[in-house]
Amino acid sequence: MDIAQHHIVAVQRICHRIYPFTMHIPIDEARRAQEIIASASRVVCICHRNPDGDAIGSLLGMAHLIEQQYPGKVVVFQCVDPAPATFRFLPGALRIVHDYAYQPGDAAIILDCGEPKLTEMHITHPMLFDGTMPSIEFDHHHRNPMYASVNLVFPDAASTCEIVVAFADTVGWHLSPDIATCLLTGVYTDTGGLLHSNTTSSVYRTVARLLRSGARRQEVVTAVFRTGKMSTLKLWGRVLEKISLTSEGGAISAVTEGDFRASGADYSELTGAIDYVNAVPGMRFSLILSERDGTVKGSLRTLRDDVDVSAMAAKFSGGGHKKAAGFALPGKLKPELRWKVEQTEEEQGRDALR
């Protein structure tokens, strides 16, 4: 460690004493991770299959950090799936490859993966997890089995990007505007635009840190929260139109395969619609049923502390968190229409006069 780094660490320790609510990464762990990266001939950065904003943001942010820090070192951007269209505005999103092949001397950085199988490379690339390759994981999921050589796992962090920011600050790496924009994307998507209950004071500090580094906030907001494909809007229209309220206090909607066909939307475009169904005031929970390839999927949400939707999902062999859960059952959706004839007030008045 050089003198400058010594100073950074000293200043950080003081800051952390003054603001204990900022994220703190143990310096020894950060140093071990840094050594793995420095001594690798090539570094492969990997995020989970079906990547979300935090997976893509942390993968790109980390990969760019290494390229900037170690010019000439080869960095592979790897994910079994491509970046969703929403995140293709991020620098480097089109550099993601799907065919990483192991070479001796490679080190792996695995981002936002609560367990090895989420990379969908655990069978094709056992060397990632069997100790053959030195590896570092950055993650914020509970019950992470700590599968890497260095495990930077912080379940209290709202996003993996937040951990990458803390790591960069701990080792004294500079955050360029491009890197900050990638990392801000993950902070925003995993907190639902700073609206979810995981938005701690530490999240706001991370956002401030990234904005100071030149993160292009408006680009992220526009791409992630203010852009909707026609097909998505049409699908959501169908979801919203079909909301019905049950006597148990549920706001329920359903989308059939016909709805997907008619709107031209694919299954992934249903993501986010549940938050609107969940917005009906006074409800205990919300549920969207969706039909795909002979399976009915259920997404459950609640805003209430006294309702546990994971217990409801468990009744259908599903699972999840107390406030967000899901299940899948083989079958099809059968629409049921209910009508009830009621007298109008006028008629009631006429009845009374008779």
Residues that bind Mn ion (CB under 5 A): 54, 112, 160, 190
Smallest distance, Å, CB 315 to Mn ion?
Answer: 27
Neighbours of 53 (CB within 10 A): 26
Smallest distance, Å, CB 54 to Mn ion?
Answer: 3
Smallest distance, Å, CB 159 to Mn ion?
Answer: 5
Choice between 167 and 285, CB closer to Mn ion: 167
Residue nearest to Mn ion (CB): 54
Smallest distance, Å, CB 87 to Mn ion?
Answer: 13
Neighbours of 347 (CB within 10 A): 10
Q: Are strands 295-301 and 285-292 parallel, antiparallel or unpaired?
A: antiparallel
Angle at alpha carbon of residue 87, lines to 85 and 90, rounded to 5° = 130
Choice between 46 and 312, CB closer to Mn ion: 46
Are 196 and 225 spatial neighbours (Cβ–Cβ below 8 Å)?
A: no
Neighbours of 300 (CB within 10 A): 28
Smallest distance, Å, CB 230 to Mn ion?
Answer: 28
Choice between 54 and 137, CB closer to Mn ion: 54
Choice between 80 and 277, CB closer to Mn ion: 80
Choice between 100 and 138, CB closer to Mn ion: 138
Choice between 54 and 269, CB closer to Mn ion: 54
Smallest distance, Å, CB 293 to Mn ion?
Answer: 27
Choice between 56 and 171, CB closer to Mn ion: 56
Smallest distance, Å, CB 212 to Mn ion?
Answer: 23
